Copies of this chain bind each other. A is one copy, B any other.
Amino acid sequence: MTIPMPDVQQFPDTRRIAIDKVGVKNVHYPIVVQDKNKSRQHTVARVNMYVELPHQFKGTHMSRFLEILNSYRDEEVTLNDMEPLLRDMQTKLGSECAHMELSFPYFIEKTAPATGARGLMSYECRFIATLREEKDFILEVSVPVTSLCPCSREISAHGAHNQRSCITVAIRAEKMIWIEDLIALMEQCGSAPVYSLLKREDEKMVTEQAYQNPMFVEDIVRSATLRLQQVEGIKWFRVECENFESIHNHSAYATLESR
């Protein structure tokens, strides 16, 4: 005869304090994401999974988060649609609200502008999903671009300082927006796109493109705003841009949220 172990987490709690989010954070996990061009892509995510905890329970059951995550592993289903998993969280953890965040690098093959040489670019992406009665889904992507300073160009006899910038855009949409399409949109907002592989003819082209297209960090977020406003189905967005200034040891930064 074995004496059952007490389920300490189920003990009643009398402090009458509900907890907004409780769960596991920073779980590394291999995932498969829908890829516009080749149907699916293997990558590795950092995963946070939380539920709301009603005031009457002492604790949640941390191991169940991992069990749920594992149960979606063998199917190798894409995680773009995270609703079934969130619903499992609601059911198996007895909560009205489930929340999940995935951060992962996503790779896109990109063609150099002059030679057509192909290289693989990595973009940091985030899925932030919440399911209560309604569901909420935010897609966030960080897109490196080149920015070339309009002031430096205007006042200098030759050249202009330029640098790598990072545009981070987050959207809520009424229809499926591909990561690839959101990235392509943002890459038009800098002075020039960034590539992993450029031959000399390409380097000439992007250098000249950037010089002909100077942009302050302010111009980049405004350009992104105008473009995002025109995409059908996007109902909310936030865009930020950080320029890792080549003439300073700090960044120039701007951010803007849709109203």
Residues of A participating in the B interface, judged by any CB pair closer than 8 Å: 5-9, 13, 15, 17, 19-30, 41-44, 48, 50, 53, 58-60, 62-63, 66-67, 70, 73, 105, 107, 117-122, 144, 146, 148-164, 192, 194-201, 203-204, 206-208, 210-212, 216-219, 221-222, 225-226, 242, 244-257
Contact = CB atoms under 8 A, between A and B. Distances in A.
A160 B73 CA distance: 31
B17 A222 contact: yes
A103 to B, nearest CB: 12
B20 A257 contact: yes
A70 B120 CA distance: 8
Contacts of A198: 63, 247-248
Contact of A17 (B30, B225, B245): B225
A interface majority secondary structure:
mixed
A156 B66 CA distance: 22
Contacts of A26: 250-251
A255 to B, nearest CB: 5
Contacts of A244: 163-164, 244
A43 B30 contact: yes
A25 to B, nearest CB: 4
B21 A203 contact: no
A203 B247 CA distance: 8
A161 B17 contact: no
A222 B22 CA distance: 12
Contacts of A163: 162-164, 244, 246
Contacts of A21: 253-255
B66 A204 contact: no
A256 B17 contact: yes
A20 B217 CA distance: 13
A19 B256 contact: yes
B70 A119 contact: yes
Contact of A211 (B29, B48, B53, B158): B158
Contacts of A122: 28-29, 44, 249
A70 to B, nearest CB: 6
B154 A6 contact: yes
B120 A19 contact: no
15 contacts: A8-B151, A17-B225, A25-B250, A27-B250, A29-B107, A30-B42, A42-B43, A53-B218, A63-B198, A63-B199, A149-B203, A159-B162, A161-B207, A162-B162, A195-B248
